[in-house]
Amino acid sequence: MIKIRNLTPGILHIPAAKLRLQGNAVSEVAQVTPEIQKQIDAGRIAIVTDEEDAKTEAPAAKLPEPPADFDKLDEVDAIEYVEDETDPKVIQSILQTEQRGGVIDALKGRLKEIGDARK
């Protein structure tokens, strides 16, 4: 078995290889298929040796920066922005710095909606 690591912070899906890797996750595959090789050539996947795997742990995923000028939006516009957002990482990054109660409630509600939709 060959171990490969997703080098991207997001999910990497390779349907032809029946492979779905979470960000920075390590997985074992029987062989390097042409589709996996394309991802290796593109710098999205790396082959991991047992020695590397033992020494390094997947780094914690970093949240993206909150959208520029989000804190300058009034509460109604901020809530509308949150309701349209589909990336839970962006919502979590906003939630870390947000002070307005109504916007915080909207952020938490939107995270729950996205989580429920993915189940």
Q: Which residues neighbour 97 within 8 Å (Cβ) at sequence distance 6 or greater?
A: 66, 71
Closest CA to 114 of 90, 79, 80: 90
- H or E element: which one contains 60? none
Q: What is the pTM of this model?
A: 0.48
Instruction: Give the three-class secondary structure for 64.
Output: coil
pLDDT at 51: 63
Per-residue tokens: 23? 């960000």
Examine the pLDDT at 48 and tell me if it is beyond 70: yes
Query: How far apart, in Å, are the Cα atoms of 36 and each of 2, 16, 24, 54?
Result: 11, 9, 15, 23
Examine the pLDDT at 46 and tell me if it is beyond 70: yes
Q: Round to whole Å and give the CA distance between 46 and 49.
A: 10
Q: Once rounded to an integer, what is the mean pLDDT over residues 53-74?
A: 69
pLDDT at 52: 58
The rounded radius of gyration (Å) of the Cα atoms in the chain is 18
pLDDT tens-digit series, residues 79-106: 999 999 988 888 888 888 888 999 999 9
Domain boundaries, the chain: 2-55, 70-118
